[in-house]
Structure formats: C-alpha cells, structure tokens
A and B are shown apart, each in its own frame.
Chain A
Amino acid sequence: KAGVTQTPRYLIKTRGQQVTLSCSPISGHRSVSWYQQTPGQGLQFLFEYFSETQRNKGNFPGRFSGRQFSNSRSEMNVSTLELGDSALYLCASSAGGLNTEAFFGQGTRLTVV
C-alpha cells in the first residue's frame, strides 16, 4: 500500500511569489491535514479536509489556503511569500474519524529567499 506522497520535496521561491504544494493520501483515506514545521515554532496545524470540506483551520493568515479534490488529493497554496514561510510542510492522511492514526508524508521543504 503506497504511503502519503508529497510533491515536490524541495522548493526555492522568491519573496512575493506564490507556491502550490501537493499531497496524495493513502488510498481509501478521506482526511488530509497540513502542518508547518519550523525550528522556532515547532509543528503547527494549518488545516484539515475531509471529503472536499475544510473541517478545521489553524491560526495562519489568509495567504495560506488549501483545497481537496474528489479523489482526496489535496493542495495547499501560499501567496505573497515571506521569508518566514520557509519551513517543512507536512501532510498527513487518515481515515477521517476523531483520533484515527495519521500517516505523514516526507514533507516539502520550502525555502523563501
């Protein structure tokens, strides 16, 4: 069974640009969550989608957005990039119930210069 796939693995962008990250969950999983990991702030929740609906959103500015498609694949977009957006972005998939195990991808390392 294939795991969670995140693409691309690495990205370098310039301040002011926008970026789209992709996540393909484990087959059969309908929930996808996104987290930002930085040395200073640790792991912070961005948002969670289930069957194309956002069920929860963390405390990030509106520049951060996401969506989920009918095949459960998800994308997150960051517009008007800032240096502080440099981070490892992790995607997790699960069956979708409360407290079900979350399986993480290897992440996308975004560097903003």
Chain B
Amino acid sequence: GDSVTQMEGPVTLSEEAFLTINCTYTATGYPSLFWYVQYPGEGLQLLLKATKADDKGSNKGFEATYRKETTSFHLEKGSVQVSDSAVYFCALSDNSNYQLIWGAGTKLIIKP
C-alpha cells in the first residue's frame, strides 16, 4: 500500500540555519503531496502542497518540490526562526479514496 517515510527527529538547529526535512513516498499513480505543521497543543495546519510532478509548493519561507523520479518531497527553509519549532508531517493523498497517508512526523527544535 501507499506509504510516506520521513527522517527521524528531533532535528535541532540554531536560528538562521538552513533546514531540510527529508520525505519520500511510495504510491501507485500520481498522488498529491502535502506538508503539515503541528504546534504544541494544537491541531494540524497545512503548510504547503503540490499536486503534480515538478510542482513547487511554498509558504512562509518553506518550499518543497514534487520529484517523481526520486519519489521525494523534501521540505526546505533558508533561515529558520525559533517560532518554526514544531512537528512537521509529510502526507500524501492518492487521488482515489479521500484519506491522507502520513509520515511519522519530524520534531524541529530551533535554538536562539
């Protein structure tokens, strides 16, 4: 079945560092890909998405490019802030059954 694999955390960085969180997927067909963020004590918020190969999703300085050849959707940000500390989830929707399939989540800790 479809699956999503994320790099394990926690990832600890200093403020203004470059961030990469790796995400790879397995799916039949052409899924849509998402990054969600969960701040402490809150629900999930959509950060960005891409619906077809080579699409780049971007929001709040974060970017991810849908790479079909490597089945990847890595999250990047050029300069992180303390306020970016949260858990980040990669997810896919396989365009057929109205559910999101989730990675395990990566906890990001940004130190001032």
Residues of B within 8 Å of A50, CB to CB, are 98
Interface pair B43/A107, CB less than 8 Å apart: yes
Q: Give Cα distance in the complex from A35 to B43, angstroms.
A: 11
Contact partner, B99, options A33, A103, A107, Cβ 8 Å? A33
Stretch at the interface among A13-21, A40-48, A61-69, A71-79: A40-48
Contact B45 A104, beta carbon cutoff 8 Å: yes
Known A98-B93, A99-B51; judge A58-B99 contact (CB<8 A): yes
Q: Assess A90 versus B51: contact at CB under 8 Å? Given A42-B105, A58-B99, A102-B100.
A: no
- Cβ–Cβ contact B44 & A104, under 8 A: yes
Quick one: which of A70-113 are within 8 Å of B by CB? Answer: 90, 92, 98-99, 101-107
Interface of A is mostly: strand
Q: How far is the CB of B59 from chain A (nearest CB, A)?
A: 12
- Taking a contact as CB atoms closer than 8 A, the residue among B32, B43, B101 that contacts A4 in the complex is B43
> How many chain A residues touch the partner (CB < 8 A)?
24
User: Is B71 part of the binding interface, using a Cβ–Cβ cutoff of 8 Å?
Assistant: no
- Contact B49–A101 (Cβ < 8 Å): yes
Cβ-defined contact, B32 with A99, below 8 A: yes
Judging by beta carbons under 8 Å apart, are B44 and A90 in contact? yes
Which chain B residues lie closer than 8 Å to A106 at the CB level?
Answer: 41-43
Name the A residues within 8 Å of B41 (CB-CB).
106
Which residues of B in the span 54-112 have a Cβ within 8 Å of any Cβ on A? 89, 91, 93, 95-105
For B91, list chain A residues within 8 Å (CB). Answer: 43
Q: Which residue of A lies closest to B101 (CB)?
A: A45
Do the beta carbons of A104 and B43 come within 8 Å of each other?
yes
**Are A43 and B98 in contact (CB-based, < 8 A)?**
no
Tell whether, in the assembled complex, residue B43 and residue A43 are in contact, meaning their CB atoms are under 8 Å apart.
no
